[in-house]
Amino acid sequence: MLLQGKKLLITGVLTPQSIAYGIAERALEQGAEVILTGFGRARSLTERSAKRLKAGTEVLELDVTNPAHFSALTESLRQRWGRVDGALHGVAYAPEDALGGNFLNTPWESVQTAFRVSTFSLRELAVAVMPLMTQGGSIVTLDFDNQNVAWPIYDWMGVCKAALEATVRYLARDLGPKGIRVNALAAGPLATIAAKGIPGFKSLEQGWGTQAPLGWSAKDSHDMVSRTACAMLSDWMPSTTGEIVHVDGGYHAIGAPPVDPSQDDPAPAPDAAKKAE
């Protein structure tokens, strides 16, 4: 099996619709041991999902806005496993006023929150698991590619995701000598609880399958993302780091949706144009 014997830390699991849940489920099928994280009132949802995944799956406390939680996470993992082979960073959040076309009016406090949770937390997670990746390892973060374009409605979360991609590259630079790979998985739109909080998500979702050469379904494409994430967490991509791996049906490579040239009015012949004059 692809992940036989691997010890993986998975963040970002809330409900079975979470992208991170599907990745954890597939990783268990491929022979991995998994520990999840959760915090606050939402931790009960994570614990419920953990029971569905596999009896005995642990959930450790991790509020990514609390630096003390990261050092505690390192010690908890050291006591339980002694090492970590891979980590999934599946945490992202932006306040409501940082999304939905409010870019010019978003206050710094909301931008700061979005950046702390969605971007800086990757660096903190990497630092937390680094001492336990003594034999090397793989860190994968969930992304929505924003390095070259501005998306409608995504606003400051788009800025945070662009910064996340830069963070991946710098972590790849610094952790590579330790044998630790750091990559981003850029998935197309998927039906999750988090997606419901993005204004206009439904419109984006509906147009995606039209432009993606391989097609796309927000409801049915979860497994493609999960399988790719497991490959990235495995030993089968040993020289890939600092990359954005797209799982979006090819949408990112296409400039515009398909067009039907037959719908265009043909240009008038030169003679016809002269007669019209």
Catalytic site residue 251?
Answer: no
Q: Which long-range contacts (CB under 8 A, 24 or more apart) does 91-94 make?
A: 91/11, 91/12, 91/64, 91/117, 91/118, 91/121, 92/12, 92/117, 92/118, 92/142, 92/157, 92/160, 92/161, 92/194, 93/117, 93/118, 94/118, 94/155, 94/156, 94/157, 94/160
**Radius of gyration of the chain measured on its C-alpha atoms:** 21
CA triple 112-115-119, angle to 5 deg: 160
Eight-state DSSP code of residue 18: S
- Torsional class of 184: left (φ above 0), alpha (ψ -120 to 50), beta (otherwise): beta
CA 95/CA 6 separation, integer angstroms: 35
**Given 154, 170, 274, 275, which residue is catalytic?**
154
Query: Annotated catalytic, 275?
Result: no
Q: Helix, strand, or coil here: 43?
A: helix
* Active-site residue (options: 6, 21, 161, 251): 161
**Which residues belong to the active site?**
154, 161
